[in-house]
Amino acid sequence: MKASLAKEVNRIAGLILLAALAALAVGHIWPLLVGLVGYIFWSTRQLFALYSWLVRDDHTEPPDSIGLWGEFYTRLEHLFQKERRAQENLQGIIHRAQQSVNALEDVVILIDQFGYLEYWNRAAEHYMGFNARQDLGQPLTNLVRHPGFTEYLYNGDFSEPLEIPSPVDDNRILQFRVTEFGVGEQLLMARDVTRLHHLEEMRKDFVANVSHELKTPLTVLKGYLETLLDTVPDEQGRLRRALTQMESQSNRMEALVTDLLLLSRLENTDADNDRQAVAIHGMLHRMRENALALGAEKKHRIELEIPEEARLIANPAELESAFGNLITNAVKYTPDNGYIQIRWWQDDKGAHLSVTDDGVGIDPAHIPRLTERFYRPDNSRVTQTGGTGLGLAIVKHVMIRHNGKLEISSELGKGSTFTCHFPPDRLVSKPTAVAG
Ligand code: ADP
């Protein structure tokens, strides 16, 4: 480039020199002017040629030129060639990525920040019924009209997947997961979980049926045990001890069956039944009294911090069950003379109930699994506390049914806090008939 530049400078200098000599020879300035105008004319032509070459789509075969202009064209052509190759490479990568996404059995859908369809794979056509020609650029919620799906997308909480029937086949169940990327864009992936769903349904039915079937024999057994305990005289100590043990175990079994049935009901029934404005203050006051009676010998200090006017749109029985489990646990897992605090507060994020104790605490490693059925960090506690292992699973389900969340924080040996978070739409804005 430097050599061409030098040549071009020499060429211009030579031209000026020639024109100057000619001007001297004829004794007039016009040969110099002619040389200058000629050079400007030639350069302008080159500029036009460059412009028309640049606006062409292919950028191959640059116009013929000499000197610096020729060098210019060669360099530009190389640049364009490099860019073309990079583009071809990129297109190849995109094509291969599309091919592999198309080969996936899972549905892949891309939507832009306004919820309009940008891309989907072949599985989406099969499971969702998308049509390449007419559906591109359509709002996704116009094509998938399930109310749960719309709510899931608008809520923006994608921590849990969503299961809904396929829009083209009610018998197929799809499980959606959403990943956000870019500026408000979303990648939706769905897989066919029909088989898993059926197995889960079978499990739920099985547990519900077994629990239901166990109820009657258990009632009969308990009835006889009670009668026997009433009739066996105190002198027959061994028999009485055996019967007392049998009675306490059948009570435990009854509690288990009751909790299993409650869990089945929470899983299998409509979440919106029996919605009322529940007076929280009265409900928790009663629970405090019960908790004090339950752990009378432990001499706990139980404090309530609840505004009198606290109200929540909820199912009162379910709420009582959830709060009851948290408070009972606090009593169970807090040693003598311990302190338990029950607090209710509201803010722009909704309503919150926390139960804090300074009891035995939980190793944080166990916290993520604590709401699983029968999960216990320390099995040796079971016999001492006599719980069913279903309490926190019940709390979690009640919270899900109230569009809320259970948060657990704890430190081994220091105590625990269980907080129920309810969304703002559960708050009572104006006076309503109150239950509780
Ligand atoms: P359980 O009938 O065993 O109490 P839950 O589902 O209510 O069943 O609780 C599961 C486990 O979580 C308990 O076994 C216990 O180890 C732990 N846990 C629950 N609440 C507390 C608490 N307040 N303090 C310490 N550990 C707790």
* φ, ψ at 320 (rounded to 5°): -60, -40
Asked if residue 432 has pLDDT above 50, the reply is no
Do 427 and 300 lie in a common domain? yes
DSSP H stretches of helix in 109-167? 122-128, 132-135, 140-143, 147-155
Cα–Cα dist 159/65, whole Å: 64
Longest CA–CA span in the chain (Å) reads 151
379-417 confidence digits (pLDDT tens): 655 556 678 899 999 999 999 999 999 999 999 999 999
| CATH number of the domain that residue 179 is part of | 3.30.450.20
249-269 confidence digits (pLDDT tens): 999 999 999 999 999 999 888
Do 305 and 348 lie in a common domain? yes
Cα–Cα dist 277/222, whole Å: 38
Q: What is the mean pLDDT of residues 171-195?
A: 95
- Ligand 1 pocket residue status of 360, Cβ below 6 Å: yes
- Ligand 1 pocket residue status of 373, Cβ below 6 Å: no
| CATH number of the domain that residue 209 is part of | 1.10.287.130
Lowest-pLDDT range, 67-71, 122-126, 177-181, 289-293?
A: 67-71
Do 19 and 137 lie in a common domain? no
Do 295 and 426 lie in a common domain? yes
Cα–Cα dist 241/228, whole Å: 12
- Ligand 1 pocket residue status of 389, Cβ below 6 Å: yes
Number of domains in the chain: 4
- Ligand 1 pocket residue status of 325, Cβ below 6 Å: yes
Q: How many residues belong to the chain?
A: 436
What pTM was estimated for this model as a whole?
A: 0.70
Q: Could you tell me the two tokens for 227?
A: 């009668």
Average pLDDT score over the chain: 90
Asked if residue 273 has pLDDT above 80, the reply is no
- Ligand 1 pocket residue status of 338, Cβ below 6 Å: no
Cα–Cα dist 344/314, whole Å: 15
Predicted pLDDT at 344: 97
Do 288 and 346 lie in a common domain? yes
Q: Ligand 1 pocket check: which of 362, 363, 407, 417 to mutate, most ligand atoms within 8 Å of Cβ?
A: 362
Predicted pLDDT at 431: 46
Alpha-carbon dihedral 351, 357, 360, 363, rounded to 10 degrees: 30
Predicted pLDDT at 69: 80
| DSSP element (H, E) containing 346 | strand 339-347
| Strand-strand pairing, 185-192 and 107-111 | antiparallel
Beta strands in 182-296 (DSSP E): 185-192, 276-279
CB 120 within 8 A of CB 137: no
Asked if residue 288 has pLDDT above 60, the reply is yes
Q: Which of 169, 192, 215 is the last residue of a domain?
A: 192
Predicted pLDDT at 51: 87
102-135 confidence digits (pLDDT tens): 999 999 999 999 999 999 999 999 999 998 888 9
Task: Identify the domain containing residue 116 by its residue range.
Answer: 105-192
Do 257 and 372 lie in a common domain? no
Do 343 and 224 lie in a common domain? no
Considering the chain, what percentage of its residues have pLDDT values greater than 90?
66
- More confidently predicted of 248 and 57: 248
Considering the chain, what percentage of its residues have pLDDT values greater than 70?
96
Predicted pLDDT at 430: 52
Helix, strand and coil content of the chain, in percent to the nearest 5, comes to 55, 20, 25
- Ligand 1 pocket residue status of 391, Cβ below 6 Å: yes
Predicted pLDDT at 3: 74
How sure is the predictor about 169, in pLDDT bands with cuts at 50, 70 and 90? Answer: very high
Q: Which of 192, 210, 236 is the last residue of a domain?
A: 192
Asked if residue 65 has pLDDT above 80, the reply is no
At what angle are helices 280-294 and 316-332 packed, to 10 degrees? 30
How sure is the predictor about 12, in pLDDT bands with cuts at 50, 70 and 90? Answer: confident
- Ligand 1 pocket residue status of 371, Cβ below 6 Å: no
Of 53, 39, 49, whose CA–CA distance to 9 is shortest? 39
Q: Ligand 1 pocket check: which of 325, 333, 341 to mutate, most ligand atoms within 8 Å of Cβ?
A: 333
Do 142 and 207 lie in a common domain? no
Q: What is the mean pLDDT of residues 298-326?
A: 95
Do 337 and 428 lie in a common domain? yes
Beta strands in 139-198 (DSSP E): 162-166, 169-181, 185-192
Do 422 and 287 lie in a common domain? yes
133-156 confidence digits (pLDDT tens): 889 999 999 999 999 999 999 888
The CA-based angle 31-29-39, given to 5 degrees, is 45
Asked if residue 179 has pLDDT above 50, the reply is yes
CB 173 within 8 A of CB 193: yes
Q: Which of 160, 192, 224 is the last residue of a domain?
A: 192
User: DSSP readout, 269-283?
Assistant: S-TTTT-EEEEHHHH
Burial-class residue 236 by CB neighbours within 10 Å (0-12, 13-18, 19+).
exposed
Predicted pLDDT at 321: 95
Residues 6+ apart with CB under 8 A from 361: 410, 411, 412, 413, 414, 415, 416
CB 258 within 8 A of CB 387: no
Predicted pLDDT at 435: 53
Predicted pLDDT at 382: 54
- More confidently predicted of 410 and 73: 410
Do 389 and 349 lie in a common domain? yes
3-class state of residue 114 by DSSP: coil
Do 347 and 332 lie in a common domain? yes
At what angle are helices 237-268 and 194-231 packed, to 10 degrees? 150
- Identity of the residue numbered 416: S
In whole angstroms, how far apart are CA 23 and each of 17, 27, 398? 10, 6, 102
How sure is the predictor about 75, in pLDDT bands with cuts at 50, 70 and 90? Answer: confident
Beta bridge partners of 417: 356, 409
Q: What is the mean pLDDT of residues 338-345?
A: 96
